[in-house]
């Protein structure tokens, strides 16, 4: 991998670029120095449609002028801007610096709006129409790719509109999740259980915890083996938000329902990652986004 980040490639790109420009200039110079031997225009020997000949006419002056301007422009650009390998140019311009400047300008322009939001607690902020509109835009731009535009998630991505929270659904928990991200890990447990039969029995017992259809005899056999799972999920299977372990009693299955899906989780384990938004979003934006997410499950209309 070090071969691709060595200084050689910087020099390689710079040399190829300069050789290309010099070759164009040399070609233009050589053609400009050619003397016409006769007053007649020579043919290149190419003929189409029986009588359409390609003649060796000199280049028009306007075309030559544009060619020269292009070469001069290219040289000036390479002096001022990045283009010659790792050379940063006299203006020291970079797309990253321009992006950071635009973000800083936008943040400064929006500061008065966020100043009002900062003073409001999340439950109150979640009911503010202006804050909800801003939160919705932040969610669509940063969260909907995984959780869906309706925030109801999909297989492997949590539904944010219910009251099932792996790491807790209080405002502070949501702020922490957005800010720092989360990494959830379910280790493979097949070896600890000892056999494929034990895996199947535990899967049936897990189904029984939520009242899902299951084999009662196998579930009873798997109850004792569930002890190896209780360290994370608790002896009652209700999970632990402190470590992000799932509640197995609520019929909410992040990676799919049924014995087959549960056995796959036991055999293979799973690692899920929620990327940290700190650095991408300001603390004020995270505050508004957290209020929007909290409101998805707490401000929803009650069904009769």
For the ranges 21-30, 103-112, 213-222, the maximum mean pLDDT occurs at 213-222
Q: What is the pLDDT of residue 43?
A: 74
Within 8 A by CB and 6+ apart from 100, the residues are none
Q: What is the pLDDT of residue 2?
A: 52
Q: If pLDDT is split at 50, 70 and 90, which confidence band does 41 have?
A: low
**Other Cβ atoms within 10 Å of 294 Cβ, number:** 22
Q: What are the Cα distances from residue 51, in Å, to 44, 55, 137?
A: 13, 12, 65
Q: What are the Cα distances from residue 16, in Å, to 23, 41, 74, 92, 190?
A: 10, 36, 14, 22, 57
Q: What is the pLDDT of residue 218?
A: 96
Interval 191-216 mean pLDDT? 95
Of the listed ranges 60-74, 140-154, 282-296, the least confidently predicted one is 60-74
Within 8 A by CB and 6+ apart from 76, the residues are none
Q: Kindly tell me if the per-residue pLDDT of 84 is higher than 70.
A: yes
Phi-psi region of 53 (alpha: psi -120 to 50; beta: other; left: phi over 0): beta
> How far apart are alpha carbons 172 and 58 in whole angstroms?
76
> How far apart are alpha carbons 286 and 289 in whole angstroms?
5
Indicate the SS3 state at residue 179. helix
Q: If pLDDT is split at 50, 70 and 90, which confidence band does 11 have?
A: confident
Q: Kindly tell me if the per-residue pLDDT of 1 is higher than 60.
A: no
Q: If pLDDT is split at 50, 70 and 90, which confidence band does 71 have?
A: very high
Of the listed ranges 99-103, 203-207, 213-217, 221-225, the least confidently predicted one is 99-103
- What would you measure as the largest C-alpha separation in the chain, in angstroms? 106
Of the listed ranges 140-144, 181-185, 300-304, the least confidently predicted one is 300-304
Q: Residue by residue, what is the 3-state secondary structure of 71-95?
A: HHHHHHHHHHCCCCCCCCCCCCCCH
Q: What are the Cα distances from residue 3, in Å, to 8, 10, 16?
A: 8, 12, 18
Beta strand extents in 121-216 (DSSP E only)? 182-186
Within 8 A by CB and 6+ apart from 184, the residues are 166, 244, 270, 271, 272, 273, 274
Decide: 277 and 222 in contact? Cβ < 8 Å.
no
Give the strand pairing for 182-186 and 270-274. Answer: antiparallel
Model pLDDT for residues 207-222, shown as the tens digit of each residue:
999 999 999 999 999 9
> How far apart are alpha carbons 293 and 283 in whole angstroms?
15
Interval 103-119 mean pLDDT? 89
Alpha-carbon torsion angle 109, 113, 117, 118, nearest 10: 40
Answer positive or negative: Cα dihedral of 225, 231, 234, 239: negative
> How far apart are alpha carbons 134 and 152 in whole angstroms?
19
Interval 288-293 mean pLDDT? 97
Q: If pLDDT is split at 50, 70 and 90, which confidence band does 3 have?
A: low
Compute and round to an integer the Cα radius of gyration of the chain. 33
Q: Kindly tell me if the per-residue pLDDT of 250 is higher than 60.
A: yes
Q: What is the pLDDT of residue 304?
A: 45
Q: What is the pLDDT of residue 51?
A: 78
Q: What is the pLDDT of residue 299?
A: 83
Percentage of the residues of the chain whose pLDDT score is greater than 90:
70
Q: State the DSSP H helix or E strand holding residue 285, giving kind and residue range, or none if neither.
A: helix 283-298
Model pLDDT for residues 45-67, shown as the tens digit of each residue:
788 877 788 877 777 888 889 98
Decide: 285 and 138 in contact? Cβ < 8 Å.
yes
Q: What is the pLDDT of residue 302?
A: 53
């Amino acid at each position: 991998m070090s071969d691709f980040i060595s200084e050689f490639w910087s020099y390689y790109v710079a040399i190829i670029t300069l050789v290309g420009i010099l070759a164009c200039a040399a070609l233009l110079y050589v053609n400009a120095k050619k003397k016409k031997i006769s007053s007649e225009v020579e043919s290149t020997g190419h003929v189409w449609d029986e009588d359409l000949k390609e003649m060796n006419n000199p280049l028009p002056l306007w075309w030559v002028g544009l060619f020269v301007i292009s070469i001069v422009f290219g040289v000036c650009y390479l002096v001022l801007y990045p283009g010659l390998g790792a050379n940063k140019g006299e203006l020291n311009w970079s797309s990253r610096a321009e992006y950071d400047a635009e973000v800083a300008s936008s943040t400064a322009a929006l500061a008065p709006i966020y100043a009002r939001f900062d003073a409001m607690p999340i439950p109150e902020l979640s009911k503010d129409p202006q804050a909800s509109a801003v939160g919705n835009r932040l969610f669509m731009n940063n969260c909907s790719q995984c959780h869906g535009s309706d925030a109801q998630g999909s297989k492997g991505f949590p539904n944010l509109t219910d009251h099932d929270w792996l790491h807790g659904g209080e405002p502070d928990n949501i702020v922490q999740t957005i800010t720092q991200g989360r990494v959830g890990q379910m280790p493979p447990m097949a070896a600890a259980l000892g056999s494929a039969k034990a895996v199947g029995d535990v899967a049936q017992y897990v189904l029984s915890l939520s009242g899902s259809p299951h084999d009662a005899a196998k579930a009873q056999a798997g109850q004792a083996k569930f002890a190896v799972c209780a360290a994370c999920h608790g002896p009652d299977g209700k999970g632990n938000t402190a470590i992000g372990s799932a509640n197995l009693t609520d019929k909410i299955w992040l990676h799919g329902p049924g014995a087959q899906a549960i056995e796959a989780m036991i055999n293979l384990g799973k690692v899920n990652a929620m990327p940290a938004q700190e650095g991408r979003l300001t603390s004020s934006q995270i505050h508004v986004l957290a209020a929007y997410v909290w409101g998805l499950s707490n401000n929803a209309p009650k069904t009769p």
